[in-house]
């Protein structure tokens, strides 16, 4: 009896320490993550529903939404094709310079977004390498939609490849070899074996890539030129309205982006719960 009593009393301080640690961690999460999120919606609806709806119905807001969708619709599929090709080459073959290729794929993660935009200005801007030639032929890249697309592709390039490479590495090539021995052609092998095996990880990568593509600010702001209605994506529209002291307008557009972020988080979490082992252990995804 006395032994039991002692062990219970010995456990008490530890229990207390656990509770203290949990409360500390939760306090940080609430203050640091939840409060900023709540601020977005609180500020957006500060003056009620009507001003909010007006703010997101303005033509500038609509064109910003359209442009954001357009940029993502071009950038994401291109990076998906790249991600699959890169992962296939990296995980199914041995070749010289493989480590270097892997480092190049990760490179955009460690480059400041501002620099990601800057490099395209240096290539296609008025004083850039190809600038004069393009101007002579009437092609506009910088301060136009192509520049926005290029900068977004640069920023989001690693996402899909980064999800697929560790998974395909872990899965190995035995199933694909089995398909070959059973007589499958290259495309049959890809569509019937490879793609089904990576589908959830691919969706996961697309999700992260898309969230980043729609939300990118730094790189896009450098190449955009901030022409209202023409080259302002949603994050840029947020910035412009904020700098014009149109706080409700800024937070209204921001709330749409925040909703996108929440949706992304929800689907991502769902994927992790349901298909965790088919997505595999992954390093956190970049910027």
Partner 1 sequence: MTLELSHLNRRFAEYQALDDVSLSIAPGEFLALLGPSGSGKTTLLRILAGLDYPDTGSVLKDGKDFLATTARERNIGMVFQHYALFRHLTVLENIAFGLRVRPWRKRPSRAVIRERVERLLKRVQLDDLGRRYPAQLSGGQRQRVALARALAVEPDMLLLDEPFGALDAQVRVTLRRWLRELHEELELTTVFVTHDQEEALELADRVAVMNNGRVEQVGSPEVIYQQPATPFVCEFIGKVNRFLVRRNGDRLSAGGWMPDGDPWQGRFTEAVAYVRPEQLRLAVPSSQPAWEAKLRHIYLAGSVAHLELHVDALDQTLEADIASEDLSRRGLHAGMELRVAPRSAVLFPREGQGATLNQERWIWHARSPVPA
Partner 2 sequence: MRRRVLPGFGISFGYALTYLGLIVLLPLAALAWKATGIGLHGLIHLLSGPRTLAALRLSLLGAVMAASINAVVGLLVGWVLVRYRFPGRRLFDALVDLPFALPTAVAGIALTTLYAPNGWLGRWLEPLGIKVAYTPVGVLVAMVFVGFPFVVRTLQPVLASLERDVEEAAESLGAQRWQTFFRVILPMLAPTLLTGFALALARAVGEYGSVIFIAGNIPMKSEIAPLLIVQKLEQFDYAGAAALGVALLLLSFVLLVIVSLLQRWSNRWAERAA
Binding mask 194-233 for partner 1 (x = CB under 8 A): --xx------------------------------------
Distance CA 156, CA 268 (A): 17
In the bound state with partner 2, the residue whose beta carbon lies nearer, of 205 and 285, is 285
Q: Does 174 bind partner 1 (CB under 8 A)?
A: yes
- The answer to whether residues 43 and 251 touch, using CB atoms and an 8 Å cutoff, is yes
Looking at 177, 266, 270, 283, which residue binds partner 1 (CB under 8 A)? 177
92 touches partner 1 by CB under 8 A: no
Q: How far is CA 49 from the centre of its chain?
A: 30
Which position among 73, 114, 178, 263 is part of the footprint of partner 1 (CB under 8 A)? 178
Looking at the Cβ atoms of 22 and 178, the one nearer to partner 1 is 178
* Nearest distance in Å: CB 217, partner 1: 39
When binding is defined by CB under 8 A, the residue of 184, 203, 248, 261 that contacts partner 1 is 184
User: For partner 2, which is the closer residue by CB, 85 or 230?
Assistant: 85
Least distance in angstroms from the C-beta of 2 to partner 2: 22
The 10 Å Cβ neighbour count of residue 142 is 25
- Near partner 1 by CB under 8 A: residue from 110, 185, 243, 269: 185
Dihedral sign computed on CA atoms, order 209, 215, 220, 226: positive
**Smallest distance from partner 1 to CB 194, Å:** 10
Judge whether 44 and 247 are in contact, CB under 8 Å: no
Q: Which stretch binds partner 1 (CB under 8 A): 32-40, 116-124, 140-148, 182-190?
A: 182-190
Determine, following the binding rule CB under 8 A, whether residue 77 of this chain makes contact with partner 1. Answer: no
Nearest to partner 2 of 139, 269 (CB atom)? 269
Shortest Å, Cβ 65 to partner 2? 13
Q: Which 8-state DSSP code applies to residue 192? A: I
Determine the 3-state secondary structure of 128 from DSSP.
coil
Task: Give me the helices (H) in the chain, please.
Answer: 2-29, 35-44, 49-57, 59-92, 98-106, 113-124, 131-136, 145-156, 158-171, 174-181, 186-189, 195-215, 218-224, 234-243, 247-279
Residue 239 · residue 221 · CB < 8 Å? yes
- Whole-number Å distance between alpha carbons of 53 and 110: 38
The residues that touch partner 1, with contacts defined as CB under 8 A, are: 174-175, 177-185, 188, 192-193, 196-197
């Amino acid at each position: 009896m006395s032994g039991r009593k002692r062990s219970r009393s010995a456990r008490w301080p530890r229990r207390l320490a656990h509770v203290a640690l949990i409360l500390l961690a939760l306090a940080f999460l609430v203050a640091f993550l939840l409060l900023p999120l709540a601020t977005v919606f609180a500020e957006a609806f500060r003056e009620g529903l009507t001003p909010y709806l007006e703010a997101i119905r303005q033509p500038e807001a609509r064109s910003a939404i359209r442009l954001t969708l357009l940029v993502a619709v071009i950038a994401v599929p291109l990076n998906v094709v790249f991600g699959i090709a890169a992962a296939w080459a990296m995980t199914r073959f041995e070749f010289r310079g493989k480590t270097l290729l892997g480092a190049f794929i990760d490179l955009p993660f460690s480059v400041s977004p501002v620099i990601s935009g800057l490099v395209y200005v240096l290539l296609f801007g008025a004083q850039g390498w190809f600038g004069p030639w393009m101007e002579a032929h009437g092609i506009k890249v910088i301060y136009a939609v192509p520049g926005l697309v290029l900068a977004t592709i640069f920023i989001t390039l690693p996402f899909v490849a980064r999800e697929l490479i560790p998974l395909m590495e872990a899965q190995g090539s035995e199933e694909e070899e089995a398909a070959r021995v059973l007589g499958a052609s290259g495309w049959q092998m890809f569509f019937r074996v490879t793609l089904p095996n990576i589908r959830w990880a691919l969706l996961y990568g697309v999700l992260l890539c898309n969230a980043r593509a729609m939300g990118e600010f730094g790189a896009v702001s450098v190449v955009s030129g901030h022409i209202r209605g023409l080259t302002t994506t949603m994050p840029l529209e947020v910035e412009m309205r904020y700098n014009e002291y149109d706080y409700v307008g800024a937070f209204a557009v921001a709330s749409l982006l925040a909703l996108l972020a929440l949706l992304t988080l929800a689907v991502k979490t769902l994927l992790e719960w349901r298909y965790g082992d088919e997505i595999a252990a992954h390093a956190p995804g970049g910027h």
